[in-house]
Amino acid sequence: MDGTVQHPTATWDAMPDGNVFYRRQQLYSMPGKLPDLGDYVIAGCRNGGPLALMRDTTKLIAVGRATPAFTKAQIQIYSPAGEGLLLFSWDQGKIIRYGWSFDERLVVLNEEGVYRLYDLQGDHQQFSFGAEAAELGIVDARIHENGLVALTGSLTLLEVKGWEGGRPLALAPPGLSEPPHAWAVIPPDQNISRHVEVLLSVDATILAVDNLESVDQRLSRGPFTHVSPSPNGKLLALLTFTGLLWVVSTDFQRSLAEFDTTSVGAHGIVNQVEWCGNDAILVTWDNLALLVGPSGDTLRYLYFGTTFAVTEIDGIRVISQDVCDLIQKVPASSLSVFRPGSFSPSAILFDAWESFSRRSPKADESIRSIRHDLAAAVNECIDAAGREWEPYWQRRLLSAAKFGWGFLDLYNPTDFVAMGQALKVLNAVRFFEIGIPLTYSQYNYASPSQLVTRLTSRNLHLLALRISSFLSLKPDVVLKHWASAKLAKSKSSTEEGDDEVCRLIVDKFQTLGGGDVSYADIAKRAWEVGRAGLATKLLDHETRSSDQVPLLLAMKEDKLALIKAVDSGDTDLVYHVLLHLHKRLPLGSFFRLIEDGGERLASASRLLQVYAREQNREMLRDFYYSDDRRVESAVLSLEEASRMTDPSAVTSAVKAAHKFFSEDKDRTFEAKMTDESTRLLAFQQQLEKEADGKVTFFGLSVSETIRTCLLNGMAKKADRVKADFKVPDKRFWYLKLHALTSMRDFEALDTFARSKRSPIGYEAFVRHLLEKGHSKEASAYVLRCDAPKRVDLYVDCGDWRNAGRECKERGDKARLEQLKKKCPNSLIARELDHMIASMK
């Protein structure tokens, strides 16, 4: 291989049927860099990520090996190129399982249900499953990219979604009596239901468990030693104890392939059953890896020693002690261009370009022959370029594509440019010092910005920044990480002044156009490493007050935090600060802080009142009391009174309000009113007693009390209320009118009407009686109304005869004629006629 670059097909192997090709691409050769993988428990990260290794304590170590004996568990992290990235020791309880998250953090879970997320710098975040899980203990777990599922000591399943320390959710109880033989998890994003599914091998069958139910799939072939779902979650590879490899769809409806692994003559036990992309399965033993294709065809790959395989979306990475390989199905475009004897347009185009570069006239002939398919051929060449590992072949394929499009009238080169950019980035990160062997499809799957994040987490800020600007991504992620790293490094060297570091960071942010970088995050970081001064300085540069608040709180800058929260306009943030301070400060100083804030903190003070009114009335009372807010205190008492039902409690609450009002000389009216209110309440209680508790009075208004008295035949009492509370005559008359009408006590009404001259006139009587449908009774009062209105009122009452008489008395003949026209029946009409006649 030295000097000359081997042809792409050199790595290809055809399946026995000769139609499907797989290729084994050596990514890195790394003799002597990794220890013997057989002695370790390993977790590999997808998308060309690193490996984590931990001594497998169940295995013996040969004496005299170079590896030192560890007293504590140690985890080593290697890049795929065999470079050591990180080494750290574990001081917590026994590690149950570890694995990688999507953002390349190592998730380590111990038997107490505590899990940590380590980034590649060794910084970690710790979360826990909670006390209950700790008691039961965690016996096993499966970690996928966006969460994990743990098996507790009582053989139930707990799920954690995401890596923000979310609360563990219990899945449906699987009803196990012993730990499963093997199990696996299909992550939520690969399930139709969008929720995690757990597959447990129990006895001869498989249980499919999600958060709703546990379904027995009723299989009889088990138990299984390996359960392995494909990367897209559609298929499942199962290996029985008898060595039968069985591929089924994950809904267990279709059986796809079966293969007896004992027939290959491998020695020892099966190490791994892993998927190679979504279409083949790699079964590994020590020294051997066997690729089983969809139709049960196999390819054998020999390795030295134990290997470890990491499934990728488009293949599988196999790491042995001295090489790191990628085994994958040859991508369609590569196959089309390079397959021996291929006559596809892209193959011809590539051939044409080769002829052209050799100055052979054959080029023209070839191009002509594929004229119609040229555009497709160009696209295929571009795609094939993306699939090649060697820059030499990438360049050649791209050149061929470029050559081809010269013959097209119109061609949009966007794809070509994008591919060129992608390859430039990919080649850079594949370099062994960086050691991210990312394929083109993985790059597209995981997104360029994820790649940038991965680089920054390796502290490769310059490369990350260059790639960001090359791909025109926002540089803020990189800058933020850079600044944090800068702070972390400078934490020991205190001689570097706060001003200096602050200036450095601000300069860098401004020049690199990181307008969106949050200074608050950096300031928080500074605070965490114990540089409060620097944190304050950095915080001054933050424009979003909402981001400043949490840190200010942490720094115990209480007042400033509150002011910033109020300024942000986000009431939730204000609540956040208020509730936090309420918890932390003594009540007195908490109140003082708010009261001293004056107008600036007025809205915070009001929010506190809103909260306290519903949730903490005791505090609100204290708050008003401490600030001498008598009116508010009184209103609070009244409010409480309105919520109570017990008469004595209501009365005393109203009395309390009265006391508060009377302490304020501007509130004499309110004081008088609350006094009246207590008097009324007392009187009402008395009334209830007199009515033998049959009538409810308590809490009614003055008017309602009068009405209730009248309705219940306590007219004397009504008069008493009127006198005691100085109810104006008008209101009293209306009340009595309405009450008597509703009782249909027209006799009493008449007496009442005659008792003295009505202060509301008599038209009100007529109108009200009419409204209630008592036209006959209404008509009786018309006579007492103003003369000019009487005719109309009579008409409204339907009393045509009297209306006519009224007209007659007033000598209004025209009106009488009018009435005759409108009158409802001939009987009346005749009568009216009679009247008209008599008027002559």
Partner 1 sequence: MAVASASTASDVQNPSSLGRERDQSLNLDSLKEIGKKALIDALNSVNGAKTLVLDPTLAGPLGLVTEVSLLKHHGVDKMFWLEPGPLSSTTTNIVYLCRPLIKYVKILADQIKRHARESLKHRYTLFLVPRTSTLVSRILEEEGVLGDVTISSYNLQFIPIAEDVVSLEQDNAFKEIWVDGDETVIYNSALALDTLQKLYGPYPRIIGKGDYASRLATLLSRPLPEQPIPGEFNKPVVTAPFDSLIILDRQVDMITPLLTQLTYEGLIDELIGISNSQVELPVSLLTPPSAPNPANPASLPSTSAAAVTPVNNEKMKKHHLTAATDPLFAEFRDLNFSSVGKNLNRVAHRLDEDYKSRHQAKTPAQLRDFVGKLGGLQSEHQALRLHTGISEILVPITRTDIFNKSLEIQQNLLASYEVSKQTSAIEDLIAQGAEMQIVVRLLCLASITAGGIKAKSLESIKRDLLQAYGYNYLPLLLSLSASPLSILLPNPLPVSTAPSVAASKYPFTTLRKSLRLLIDDNPDALDEVENDISFVYSGYAPISVRLIQCIAQKNGVISNPAEKVLTDEADGKGSSKKLYAHPILGWKGFEDVLAAMPGKTFDIMQKGPGGDSSPPSISSLLRSSEQTSTTVVFFLGGCTYTEIAALRWVNRQHKGRKFLIATTGIVSGGSLIESIAGFGKKGPGSKDTSI
Nearer to partner 1, 650 or 828 (CB): 650
Closest to partner 1 by CB, 120 vs 654, is 654
| Residue 372 DSSP one-character state | G
How deeply is 234 buried, as exposed, middle or buried, from its count of CB atoms within 10 A (0-12, 13-18, 19+)? middle
Cα–Cα distances in angstroms (integers) from residue 374 to residues 333, 369, 410, 575, in the given order:
14, 9, 12, 65
The CA–CA distances, whole Å, from 332 to 57, 348, 396 equal: 44, 15, 18
Alpha helices in 431-475 (DSSP H): 440-446, 448-457, 461-470
- Shortest distance (Å) from residue 526 CB to partner 1: 22
Per-position x/- string for 138-177, each x denoting binding to partner 1 as judged by CB under 8 A, each - no binding: -----------------------------x-x--------
- Closest CB to partner 1 among residues 651, 802: 651
Q: What is the DSSP letter of 713?
A: T
Q: Residue 692 CB, nearest distance to partner 1 (Å)?
A: 20
Task: Tell me how many degrees the CA angle 220-225-230 measures, rounded to the nearest 5.
Answer: 90
Q: How far is the CB of 691 from partner 1 (least distance, A)?
A: 16
Q: Binding marks (x or -) toward partner 1, 602..641, rule CB under 8 A?
A: xx-xxx-xxx--xx---------------x---x--xx-x
Binding to partner 1 (CB under 8 A) within 745-774 occurs at 760, 764, 767
Q: Of residues 554, 673, 691, 748, which one binds partner 1 by CB under 8 A?
A: 673
3-state secondary structure of 52: strand
Q: Which two tokens stand for residue 477?
A: 């992620």
Exactly one of 186, 700, 797, 807 binds partner 1 (CB under 8 A); that residue is 700
Least spacing, CB of residue 230 vs partner 1, in Å? 22
**What is the DSSP secondary-structure string of 259-323?**
EEGGGG---S---EEEEETTTEEEEEETTEEEEE-TTS-EEEEE-SS--EEEEETTEEEEE-SSE
Q: Is 735 in the site for partner 1 (CB under 8 A)?
A: yes
Q: Say whether residue 642 binds partner 1 (CB under 8 A).
A: yes
Q: Which of residues 546-575 bind partner 1 (CB under 8 A)?
A: 546, 569-573, 575
- How many residues of this chain bind partner 1 (CB under 8 A)? 67
Nearer to partner 1, 121 or 678 (CB): 678
Residue with the two structure tokens 């049959």:
694
The residue among 212 and 462 lying less far from partner 1, judged by its C-beta, is: 212
Which one of residues 195, 592, 621, 720 is an interface residue with partner 1 (CB under 8 A)? 195
| Contacting residue, 727, 753, 791, 803, with partner 1 by CB under 8 A | 727
CA distance 327 to 312: 10
Q: Which window, 138-146, 187-195, 404-412, 621-629, contacts partner 1 (CB under 8 A)?
A: 187-195
The DSSP element (H or E) to which 580 belongs, if any, is helix 571-584
Work out whether 685 is an interface residue with partner 1 (CB under 8 A).
Answer: no
Report, in Å, the least distance between residue 585 CB and partner 1: 16
Q: What's the min distance (Å) between Cβ of 84 and partner 1? A: 39
Out of 6, 19, 125, 193, name the contact with partner 1 by CB under 8 A.
Answer: 193
Instruction: State in angstroms the smallest separation of the CB of 119 from partner 1.
Output: 24
Specify the DSSP class assigned to residue 26: E
Please, how many CA atoms are within 13 Å of residue 587, restricted to the half-sphere of its CB? Answer: 11
Cβ neighbours for 132, distance < 8 A, ≥ 6 positions apart = none
What CA–CA distance (Å, rounded) separates 221 from 236?
Answer: 14
Member of 189, 728, 809, 822 binding partner 1 (CB under 8 A): 728
Please report which residue ranges of 2-122 form alpha helices under DSSP H: none
Contacts of 268 (CB under 8 A, 6+ apart): 285, 286
Instruction: List contacts with partner 1 (CB under 8 A).
Output: 167, 169, 193-195, 210-212, 543-544, 546, 569-573, 575-576, 579, 602-603, 605-607, 609-611, 614-615, 631, 635, 638-639, 641-643, 645, 650, 654, 666, 669-670, 673-674, 676-677, 680, 698-704, 707, 725, 727-728, 730-731, 733-735, 738, 760, 764, 767
